[in-house]
Structure 1
Amino acid sequence: MMTLEDLIGLLDPLEYLAGRTPLKEVHALTADSRQAVEGGAYFALRGYVTDGHHFISDALSKGVGVVVCEEIPVSVDERCCYIRVADCRTALAAAAAEWFGHPASSLRVIGVTGTNGKTTTARLIRTMLDRSGVKTGYIGTGQALIGDESIVLERTTPEAMDLHALFRKMVNCGCEAVVMEVSSHALVLHRTEGISFYGAVFTNLTPEHLDFHATMDEYGSAKQILFRQVAPDGFGIVNADDAWGSMMAGAFSGSRLFCCTVGSQVFGCTNGSVVRARDIEARMDGSSVTVQMNGRACRASFLLPGLFNVMNMLEILSAGVAMGLSLETAAASVADVVSVEGRMEPVSDDGGLFSAIVDYAHTPDALEKVIGALNEVRPADSSLIVVFGCGGDRDRSKRPLMGGIAAAGADHVILTSDNPRSEDPEEILDAIASGITEGSFMRIADRADAIVCGVQMLRPGDLLLIAGKGHECYQESGGRKSYFSDREVVARALQERAD
């Protein structure tokens, strides 16, 4: 618990209205009025869709004794204390850290940000450190991992209370480090405010979330926040093949910067160590590369195909070296790691006659890279079939771009639903189709039917890519979520085709 006096001192309010009988102790903190409890404090967060100030009365009906807000209501409850602050999200982050005893200060926190590649990079850094004797937690897309325990998450980067609760659990379980995916939303909305990161990793920046960020510059500026939060003795890792890498490097003030490159042009590495990939061999079952770093060279092999995974691997190995591992130890620790679920995840029938790839690619850049990677390694006489859609109620500008990318890179394209949400699936397909200027394609709005159709088109040696949902086990349409797994649908269809 926390005393009311401590909370007021921590938040340094702009205004304070004492209740008739002020609480001596605050029993809980929450930003969700549905979870408000008697004697607790409610933080009225302004969100992208809703405003927590509209739910103050609901929290009061549950008996909260403190309301932290940016505007004190015209009509106040005399039994309650009101603390007015400049920013409720910053206030919640500070209160959450204090509530759980500042657990992040006992962990080496590594943040991974970027449009694509966050999950693969973060998960493999965690595996590498765990195998090297550094017990490490993970927070990211769909779940948190603490030892053998998996905790379901709704957000890639949880709200501050949930985030610090996870940190506390990790510390109590003996973790020394945590690797977390840090979304641009989380950075702008102050969910990670006050955390001193030991490391920051930038994977890439391509058009995405432009329904939230008005421009790419605004999107890039959001990512920079992570690099500004790195401790003076910490490290930064940037994709130096990405023009936005220099923007991240410019925000970094830590002691060690690693600039990773698969190509020849390096952005933003005037004060860092260049990490290069040489003699790349890409195969369907993985890749091999010579890694050059700080005057050393190491041959590394891993079970992830495609040039984009070579970049992911350079960033992973750089993180290992920054955490005190030798380059050789870091490479050996991830050599046999299979793909993360829903990321270039192979699926086949029992006899291996027909093959499919399930991938989370849901942006133009990600789809182009996955298609390119598969085209690099598939047999010359084979065909690539792509099944994909675009989510509803999200950035509409990417839909025709993705249609054009699929048509240009695949032999056969089947447009289908992703998560239509509140939109008409056929109107989403219209928008995707508008970007296809040459080549033929099919439209099958029902995702399961589209996947089965793709499987039926396969010949031995062909590849089927099912893109967009990856690890997700649901489909959201018309305000309802129903169970749906690309992997299960395609696995069943492949086996039926083989039989």
Structure 2
Amino acid sequence: MNGLQIKKAIHPLKVQNITSYESLEIQQVTQDTRTIQKGSCFICIEGATIDGHDLVSKAIEQGASLIIAEKKITAAIPVMYVYDTKKALAQLSVLFYDNPSKKMKMVGVTGTNGKTTTTHMIEAVLEKAGHQTGIIGTMYNKIGTEKIPTINTTPDALTTQKLLKKMSEQQIDSCAMEVSSHALVQGRAWGIDFDVAVFTNLSQDHLEYHHTMTDYFYAKSLLFSQLGNSYECKDYPKTAIINCDDHYGRKLEQLTAANVLTFGVSEEAVIQAKNIHISSEGTRFDLDFMEKTYPVKIKMIGMFNIYNALASFGACYALGIKPNKVISALEELPGVKGRFELVPNQADITVIVDYAHTPDGLENVLQTVKEFAKKDIYCVVGCGGDRDPSKRPIMAKIATDIATKIIFTSDNPRTEDPEVILDQMTSGLDSRAYIRVTDRKSAIERSLSEATPGDVVLIAGKGHENYQIIGKTKHHFDDVEVVMSYFENKNRRL
């Protein structure tokens, strides 16, 4: 990859001052001293625990040839002072990687629940329509068939641009991307030229970070307020796909300059689901759109998956795919790992692993189970540590209100005492209404040992995750593996 001339780098930045200016060619842009190579531009980012301004000497020792800072520093190499190094990081990343999102169809999906399923639905439709596709999201980043492990739902601005550049080099022309509220507030999505923005829903989550629902909504709204303000488009107009059954969605309609397609089950929705039938075999409904009705039968179960399908339909239609082709592709999709995932067994017990880790998510999943459950509903659920504690008793109350057999257990306790988390979940509940089994493996096995043919066992909270975070250490743990191992061992004993 060719370098970036400093003269070109200066142009988009509001530069306060440049010391020791000379003609330079930047060979790399980074905010991480561990990745610095000779000729790197090191951008000083002030984080929650580490301030990059304190690492300038180390950056220079490792070969940095340019420092970008917003605080006064001492350095023997050129220093470019800017007002906001986070924006500088995003702007230089776009420049250095030649603005790759401009070269592809970009769909950003945000909301409390449904982001992962919706991005996978959109990707499946685009792929079926002949596009070369990529995904950026919670489970992994995906370039064609290659899956790349990821830490955050939405990477930092530099990592994202580098990833999009790699996609562009491999002829990827469309990317479905989960965009988290943290990322929007922190500017991680700056510089991405989104063509379509999707809003799934908004319910209580991440208040340990955003503090209020107003601030949480504001974070989500940034994706839409930054969409299409210039009315410049590639092939199709910039479009916002918004859940109008969610009252926050109605607010979003006024916050974007882009075209809006609403979806939902209400009469006001432009993309409307009617005549809904949900069973353990799948979900059927009629999709009304532009005075036409399309029958739809998807393999995924639940009202929430109807909303995900409607959102995906809108996004793909906005990118020029015909309604019948969108529906055909959605009907073929088997499901997404850890999202209402049915775990096969020979015990005639319906075992479901789901990522539901918010009050709204848990309620939606349990209500779906209730629609087809013939006997008892077991719910194994916990709450994550170092996250919003106010949702803990709410989730526990939802579980006891809907399920018939409840086992509260650990999720990812992180640095909190799991017993304290369980105390907070169960405060105010009748102790006869639930069982506490702190060890997650034991809790899952207990639910399976007590369940009888015809029962449903929902294991909620971790979904696709193959780890459990205890303290600051990740331990291998997979809910699906625990279930399958239990039944394998049981079959051996028979």
* Band of TM-score, shorter chain: over 0.9
> 2:246 maps to what in 1?
242
CA-to-partner distance for each residue in 1:30-56, whole Å, 9 max, x for gaps?
111222223211112223444333333
> 1:420 maps to what in 2?
413
The correspondence of residues 477-488 of structure 1 with structure 2, limited to 5 A, is 477-488=470-481
The correspondence of residues 32-431 of structure 1 with structure 2, limited to 5 A, is 32-73=32-73, 76-78=74-76, 80-231=77-228, 232=231, 233-254=237-258, 256-263=259-266, 266=268, 274-349=270-345, 351=346, 353-379=348-374, 382-431=375-424
Whole-angstrom distance in 2 between the partners of 1:58 and 1:130 = 45
CA-to-partner distance for each residue in 1:116-141, whole Å, 9 max, x for gaps?
00000011100011001122211111
1:294, CA displacement in angstroms? 0.9
Whole-angstrom distance in 2 between the partners of 1:260 and 1:387 = 32
Whole-angstrom distance in 2 between the partners of 1:47 and 1:442 = 41
The answer as to whether partners of 1:302 and 1:335 remain within 8 angstroms in 2 is yes
The answer as to whether partners of 2:309 and 2:330 remain within 8 angstroms in 1 is no
1:196, CA displacement in angstroms? 2.2
Are positions 1:25 and 2:30 aligned together?
Answer: no
Residue 464 (structure 2) aligned to one of 433, 452, 471: 471
Whole-angstrom distance in 1 between the partners of 2:388 and 2:53 = 27
The answer as to whether partners of 1:238 and 1:245 remain within 8 angstroms in 2 is yes
With over 3 angstroms needed to count, the CA separation of the structure-2 counterparts of 1:47 and 1:285, relative to structure 1, is: farther
> 2:234 maps to what in 1?
none
Which shifted more, 435-444 or 216-225? Answer: 435-444
CA-to-partner distance for each residue in 1:94-125, whole Å, 9 max, x for gaps?
11111111111101111000000000001110
Whole-angstrom distance in 2 between the partners of 1:313 and 1:140 = 18
Whole-angstrom distance in 1 between the partners of 2:456 and 2:75 = 64
1:439, CA displacement in angstroms? 4.9
1:437, CA displacement in angstroms? 4.5
1:57, CA displacement in angstroms? 3.3
> 1:269 maps to what in 2?
none
Whole-angstrom distance in 1 between the partners of 2:280 and 2:52 = 49
Query: SS at the partner of 1:280?
Result: strand
Whole-angstrom distance in 1 between the partners of 2:380 and 2:424 = 16
1:358, CA displacement in angstroms? 0.6
Whole-angstrom distance in 1 between the partners of 2:262 and 2:341 = 28
Whole-angstrom distance in 2 between the partners of 1:125 and 1:352 = 35
Whole-angstrom distance in 1 between the partners of 2:168 and 2:177 = 15
The answer as to whether partners of 2:109 and 2:179 remain within 8 angstroms in 1 is yes
Whole-angstrom distance in 1 between the partners of 2:79 and 2:130 = 48
With over 3 angstroms needed to count, the CA separation of the structure-2 counterparts of 1:142 and 1:61, relative to structure 1, is: farther
1:288, CA displacement in angstroms? 0.5
Which shifted more, 479-488 or 50-59? Answer: 50-59
CA-to-partner distance for each residue in 1:394-420, whole Å, 9 max, x for gaps?
111111111111111111111111111
With over 3 angstroms needed to count, the CA separation of the structure-2 counterparts of 1:407 and 1:58, relative to structure 1, is: farther
The answer as to whether partners of 2:353 and 2:480 remain within 8 angstroms in 1 is yes
Whole-angstrom distance in 2 between the partners of 1:439 and 1:61 = 63
The residue identity in structure 2 corresponding to 1:5 is K
The residue identity in structure 1 corresponding to 2:421 is I
Whole-angstrom distance in 2 between the partners of 1:435 and 1:307 = 30
Whole-angstrom distance in 1 between the partners of 2:46 and 2:340 = 37
Query: SS at the partner of 2:385?
Result: coil
With over 3 angstroms needed to count, the CA separation of the structure-2 counterparts of 1:423 and 1:494, relative to structure 1, is: same
Query: SS at the partner of 1:252?
Result: coil
Query: SS at the partner of 1:244?
Result: helix
The answer as to whether partners of 1:220 and 1:247 remain within 8 angstroms in 2 is no
Whole-angstrom distance in 1 between the partners of 2:57 and 2:453 = 63
1:18, CA displacement in angstroms? 2.2
The answer as to whether partners of 1:419 and 1:475 remain within 8 angstroms in 2 is yes
CA-to-partner distance for each residue in 1:341-382, whole Å, 9 max, x for gaps?
010001022x35233111111111101111111111112xx1
Which shifted more, 154-163 or 57-66? Answer: 57-66
With over 3 angstroms needed to count, the CA separation of the structure-2 counterparts of 1:301 and 1:439, relative to structure 1, is: farther
- Structure 2 gaps, min length 5: 232-236
1:435, CA displacement in angstroms? 4.9
The residue identity in structure 2 corresponding to 1:356 is V
CA-to-partner distance for each residue in 1:185-225, whole Å, 9 max, x for gaps?
11111111122210000000011111111211111111111
Whole-angstrom distance in 1 between the partners of 2:478 and 2:331 = 28
The answer as to whether partners of 2:9 and 2:95 remain within 8 angstroms in 1 is no
**Root mean square deviation of aligned Cα:** 1.6
Query: SS at the partner of 1:230?
Result: coil
With over 3 angstroms needed to count, the CA separation of the structure-2 counterparts of 1:29 and 1:235, relative to structure 1, is: same
User: How many pairs align?
Assistant: 483
Whole-angstrom distance in 2 between the partners of 1:435 and 1:297 = 48
The residue identity in structure 1 corresponding to 2:11 is G
CA-to-partner distance for each residue in 1:427-486, whole Å, 9 max, x for gaps?
111111115357521111111111111111110011111111111111111211111111
TM-score, structure 2 as length reference:
0.94
1:23, CA displacement in angstroms? 6.5
